[in-house]
Chain A
Amino acid sequence: MIDALNHLPRPRAGADQLAEAFSDLAPPLTARQAAVESARCLYCYDAPCVNACPSEIDIPSFIHRISDENLQGAAERILSANILGGSCARVCPTEILCQQACVRNNAQECAPVLIGQLQRYALDHADFTEHPFQRSPASGKRIAVVGAGPAGLSCAHRLAMHGHDVVIFEAREKAGGLNEYGIARYKLVDDYAQREVEFLLGIGGIEIRHGQRLGGNLSLAELHGQYDAVFLGLGLGAVRQLGLADEDAPGLLAATDYIRELRQADDLAQLPLADRCLVLGAGNTAIDMAVQMSRLGARDVNLVYRRGEADMGATGHEQEIAKHNQVRLHTWARPDAVLLDDAGRVRGMRFARTQLIDGRLGDTGETFELAADAIFKAIGQRFDEQGLGDPLAAQLARDGERIQVDAHMRTSIPGIYAGGDCTALGQDLTVQAVQHGKLAAEAIHAQLMLNVEAA
Chain B
Amino acid sequence: MADLSIVFAGIKAPNPFWLASAPPTDKAYNVVRAFEAGWGGVVWKTLGEDPAAVNVSSRYSAHYGANRQVQGINNIELITDRSLEINLREITQVKKDWPDRALIVSLMVPCVEESWKFILPLVEATGADGIELNFGCPHGMPERGMGAAVGQVPEYVEMVTRWCKTHCTLPVIVKLTPNITDIRQSARAAHRGGADAVSLINTINSITSVDLDRMVAHPIVGDQSTHGGYCGSAVKPIALNMVAEIARDPETRGLPICGIGGIGTWRDAAEFIALGSGAVQVCTAAMLHGFRIVEDMQDGLARWMDQHGHRSLEAFRGQAVGHTTDWKYLDINYKSVAHIDQDACIGCGRCHIACEDTSHQAIASTLKADGTHAYSVIEAECVGCNLCQITCPVQGCIDMQAQDTGKPYMNWTQDPRNPYREAG
Contact = CB atoms under 8 A, between A and B. Distances in A.
Nearest to A48: B372
A96 interface: no
Given A48-B372, A51-B371, A104 B67 contact: no
Contacts of A42: 346, 348, 350, 393
B221 interface: no
B394 A67 contact: no
Interface in A25-64: 35-36, 39, 42-48, 51-52
Contacts of A108: 344, 346, 394
Nearest to B397: A108
A52 B371 CA distance: 8
Given A51-B372, A108-B344, A46 B66 contact: no
Contacts of B347: 44, 48, 103
A267 interface: no
B82 interface: no
A39 B349 contact: no
A266 interface: no
A45 B353 CA distance: 7
Contacts of B165: none
A51 B349 CA distance: 13
B276 to A, nearest CB: 36
A44 B67 contact: no
A164 to B, nearest CB: 33
B348 A103 contact: yes
B269 to A, nearest CB: 28
B348 A45 contact: yes
B352 interface: yes
Contact of B66 (A39, A52, A101): A39
A67 B346 contact: no
Interface in B336-361: 344, 346-350, 352-353
Given A39-B67, A51-B372, A67-B66, A44 B394 contact: no
A109 interface: yes
Contacts of A101: 372
Contact of B371 (A35, A43, A48, A109): A48
Nearest to B347: A103
A226 interface: no
A264 interface: no
Contacts of B68: 35
Contacts of B352: 45-46
29 contacts: A35-B67, A35-B68, A36-B67, A42-B346, A42-B348, A42-B393, A43-B350, A44-B347, A44-B349, A44-B350, A45-B348, A45-B352, A45-B353, A46-B349, A46-B352, A46-B353, A47-B348, A48-B347, A48-B371, A48-B372, A51-B371, A52-B371, A101-B372, A103-B346, A103-B347, A108-B344, A108-B346, A108-B394, A109-B346
Interface of B: 66-68, 344, 346-350, 352-353, 365, 371-373, 393-394
Interface of A: 35-36, 39, 42-48, 51-52, 67, 101, 103-104, 106, 108-109
Given A103-B348, A108-B394, 10 more contacts: A36-B67, A39-B66, A44-B347, A45-B349, A45-B350, A45-B353, A46-B353, A46-B365, A108-B344, A108-B346
